[in-house]
Amino acid sequence: MAVFVRSLPFPREGTFMRFRVSHETVPEWRGEDVLVFYRREADSLSFWALQEACPHAGVSLIESDIEDFGRAEGLGPCLACPAHMYVFDAQSGQCITQPRARDARTYPVSHERGDDGMVRVYLGREPHAKAATTRATVDQKRANEIQLSLVEIGLNRRYGTSEVL
Ligand code: FES
């Protein structure tokens, strides 16, 4: 059964947006803290939800940089943990840069748009069964490229672009 977790205004186009679901913010939520990403493209809205604690060492993924790199490879948006830059596919939870690392648990998330224009978001109580998620095939070279791109995006976001003269 899904839990109502948030009511949102219909977002502006393009940028990934995010929020955390925890027992503190949603009293009906009994599970682990979950990070929800969403993005609007034209009139459609997409959501992804995964455990907030990085499967590597438990650091929060809420400050992760996230970008869409791998649609051609069957990946969802990829996010890089701010601690050690392991990269996860937000769609499957797969860690694409460290094949032996544990994947992140992902959750079913759904939404509906009300007559008032607000978007109501619902989160499934149980994570997806691992077998139900589709793993992308990404070779190490491509995974490293995605990781480097996310590092660059993160540095630019934090410190701005700079040129070496
Ligand atoms: S804690 Fe996330 S990569 Fe190490």
Q: Mean pLDDT, to the nearest integer, of 36-65?
A: 95
3-state SS string for the chain? CEEEEEEECCCCECCCEEEEECCCCCCCCCCCCEEEEEEEECCEEEEEEEECECCCCCCECCCCEEECCCHHHCCCCEEECCCCCCEEECCCCCECCCCCCCCCCECCEEEEECCCCCEEEEEECCCCCHHHCCCCCCCHHHHHHHHHHHHHHHHHHHHCCCCCC
pLDDT at 99 over 70: yes
Ligand 1 center to residue 3 CA distance, Å?
28
* % of the chain at pLDDT higher than 70: 93
Which one has a higher pLDDT value, 8 or 161? Answer: 8
pLDDT digits (tens, 9 = 90+) for 56-80: 999 999 999 999 887 777 888 999 9
147 pLDDT band (50/70/90 cuts)? Answer: very high
Ligand 1 center to residue 110 CA distance, Å?
28
Ligand 1 surroundings by CB, under 6 angstroms: 54, 56-57, 59, 81, 83-84, 86
Given a contact cutoff of 8 angstroms between Cβ atoms, the answer to whether 80 and 151 are in contact is: yes
Given a contact cutoff of 8 angstroms between Cβ atoms, the answer to whether 37 and 51 are in contact is: no
pLDDT of residue 74: 80
Ligand 1 center to residue 83 CA distance, Å?
5
| Burial of 64 (C-beta count, 10 Å sphere; 0-12/13-18/19+) | buried
pLDDT digits (tens, 9 = 90+) for 105-139: 999 999 999 999 999 999 999 999 876 666 677 88
For a pocket test of ligand 1, which of 59, 60, 94 has the largest count of ligand atoms closer than 8 A to its C-beta?
59
Ligand 1 center to residue 117 CA distance, Å?
37
pLDDT of residue 23: 96
CA distance 24 to 65: 24
CA distance 122 to 139: 34
Closest protein CA for atom 1 of ligand 1: 57
Q: Rounded to two decimals, what is the model's pTM?
A: 0.89
Given a contact cutoff of 8 angstroms between Cβ atoms, the answer to whether 55 and 101 are in contact is: yes
pLDDT at 24 over 60: yes
**Location of structure tokens 């007559």:** 115
Mean pLDDT of the chain: 90
